[in-house]
């Protein structure tokens, strides 16, 4: 960008010549790189208007319209980097690209008309430029006549393009949020089904163990009954001779059953109880900074990184998305004055069944 001064009757007129490679060649908005190129083109036009007509109200209005357009294009670039690929999203992005392409042509046309009123070329001396003042007087008069209508028309076109792009961006954001919510629901249902299957398997194993214990108890009772009957029935002398052998046999049988019983009890103690399973499966409740309430399941979200990712996705298109992305928020137990310590492991920082509140942090 070069700046040159033309003298007139009252003061010097500042004329800006924009020499940017993006102005010399057409831009096709069909990819992320093209969207970035269009952003650069808009920034160049903003800079040119600031330096050329910075104090005129109409040009300040154009600058604000261009700034809004630049923000919309940056949002297009940000959303286009998502990995979601569906016919609806692709159709929305194609429509956004077409609108951006129309906007690019509008900006290039305006820049070309501005460039047509530039008189000095790079490398000319001040004396050579002054010699051409008279030759370019008619072009200056043409610029003054063109200025008002062109500025108003350009403002209207830029405002229309910016508004249409923002509407399409809102539609894309809503669709992305819906897709993310559907994916989360599907994953949650899958985790719930897996947990239900695991619980059924544990219950079946416990029932088998209980059946074995009942069978062993029945066998032990039968052996004791037989031994008592033999002791009462046999009162002969040779019974006392068999007593030691019978005691040894009974001792081995009892030892075997005791060992089996202890092994089964050890297996049963290693399995989670019904209370432990319910506490582990029960989610904790999060009330975010804008009042939305959501259950957080430990089986689905096990780390701080996963929690922060899900929280950021929930704030896409909502107030406070920037603070969530920058982690400028705090978590507290319901009606408590102490913040949750993020240095602790995720599962130990929260208790299932309890309610926690989220609040944004603001600079003093």
CATH number at residue 353: 3.10.20.90
Write down the pLDDT at residue 135: 44
| 112 and 224 assigned to the same domain | no
Write down the pLDDT at residue 234: 58
Write down the pLDDT at residue 55: 42
Question: Which among 188, 223, 245 is the end of a domain?
Answer: 188
What is the chain's pLDDT, residue by residue, as a tens digit (364 residues)? 333 333 333 333 333 333 333 333 333 344 445 556 666 666 666 665 555 444 456 666 777 777 777 777 777 777 767 656 667 667 667 777 777 777 777 777 776 766 554 444 444 444 454 444 444 444 444 555 556 677 777 777 777 877 777 787 787 778 778 888 888 899 889 988 988 888 889 889 888 998 988 888 888 888 888 877 776 665 555 556 666 777 788 888 888 888 888 887 877 666 555 445 455 568 899 999 888 998 988 888 889 999 999 999 989 988 889 999 998 999 998 887 788 888 899 988 898 888 999 999 887 6
For residue 249, count other CB atoms closer than 10 A to its CB.
Answer: 13
| 246 and 303 assigned to the same domain | no
pTM confidence score: 0.35
Write down the pLDDT at residue 89: 67
Write down the pLDDT at residue 305: 93
Which residue is it, tokens 């051409």? 132
| 148 and 201 assigned to the same domain | no
| 37 and 101 assigned to the same domain | yes
| 115 and 80 assigned to the same domain | yes
List the domain range (segments joined by +) for residue 222: 191-273
Question: Which among 273, 290, 314 is the end of a domain?
Answer: 273
Question: Which among 151, 171, 188 is the end of a domain?
Answer: 188
Kindly give the interhelix angle for 57-80 and 32-53, rounded to the nearest 10 degrees.
170
Alpha-carbon gap, residue 82 to 95, rounded angstroms: 17
Domain count, the chain: 3
| 136 and 243 assigned to the same domain | no
Write down the pLDDT at residue 307: 92
Write down the pLDDT at residue 235: 57
Write down the pLDDT at residue 144: 52
| 14 and 141 assigned to the same domain | yes
| 204 and 60 assigned to the same domain | no
| 20 and 159 assigned to the same domain | yes
| 9 and 148 assigned to the same domain | yes
Write down the pLDDT at residue 20: 37
Question: Is the distance from CB of 301 to CB of 292 less than 8 angstroms?
Answer: no
| 180 and 196 assigned to the same domain | no
Write down the pLDDT at residue 44: 63
Write down the pLDDT at residue 37: 62
| 158 and 215 assigned to the same domain | no
């Amino acid at each position: 960008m070069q700046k040159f001064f033309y003298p007139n009757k009252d003061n010097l007129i500042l004329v800006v010549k924009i020499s940017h490679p993006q102005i010399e060649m057409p831009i096709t908005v069909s990819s992320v790189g093209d969207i970035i190129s269009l952003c650069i083109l808009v920034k160049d036009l903003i800079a040119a208007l600031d330096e050329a007509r910075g104090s005129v109200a109409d040009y300040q209005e154009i600058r604000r319209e261009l700034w809004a357009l630049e923000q919309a294009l940056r949002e297009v670039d940000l959303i286009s980097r998502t990995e979601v690929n569906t016919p609806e999203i692709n159709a929305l992005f194609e429509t956004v690209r077409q609108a951006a392409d129309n906007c690019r042509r509008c900006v290039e046309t305006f820049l070309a008309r501005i460039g047509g009123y530039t008189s000095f070329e790079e490398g000319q001396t001040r004396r050579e430029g002054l010699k051409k003042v008279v030759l370019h007087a008619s072009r200056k008069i043409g610029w003054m006549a063109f200025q008002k209508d062109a500025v108003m028309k350009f403002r209207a076109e830029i405002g229309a393009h910016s508004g249409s792009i923002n509407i399409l961006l809102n539609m894309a954001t809503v669709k992305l949020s819906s897709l993310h919510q559907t994916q989360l629901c599907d994953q949650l249902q899958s985790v719930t089904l897996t947990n239900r299957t695991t619980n059924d398997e544990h219950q079946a194993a416990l029932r088998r163990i209980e059946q074995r214990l009942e069978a062993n108890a029945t066998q032990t009772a039968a052996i004791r009954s037989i031994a008592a009957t033999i002791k009462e029935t046999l009162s002969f002398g040779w019974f006392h001779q068999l007593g030691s052998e019978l005691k040894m046999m009974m001792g081995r049988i009892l030892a075997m059953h005791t060992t089996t019983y202890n092994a089964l009890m050890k297996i049963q103690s290693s399995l989670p109880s019904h209370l432990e399973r319910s506490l582990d499966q029960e989610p904790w409740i999060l009330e975010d900074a804008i009042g939305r309430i959501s259950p957080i399941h430990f089986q689905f979200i096990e780390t701080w990184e996963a929690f922060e990712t899900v929280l950021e996705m929930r704030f896409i298109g909502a107030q406070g998305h920037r603070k969530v992305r920058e982690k400028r928020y705090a978590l507290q137990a319901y009606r408590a004055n102490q913040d949750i310590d993020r240095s602790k492991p995720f599962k130990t920082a929260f208790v299932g069944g309890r309610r926690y509140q989220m609040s944004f942090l603001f600079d003093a």
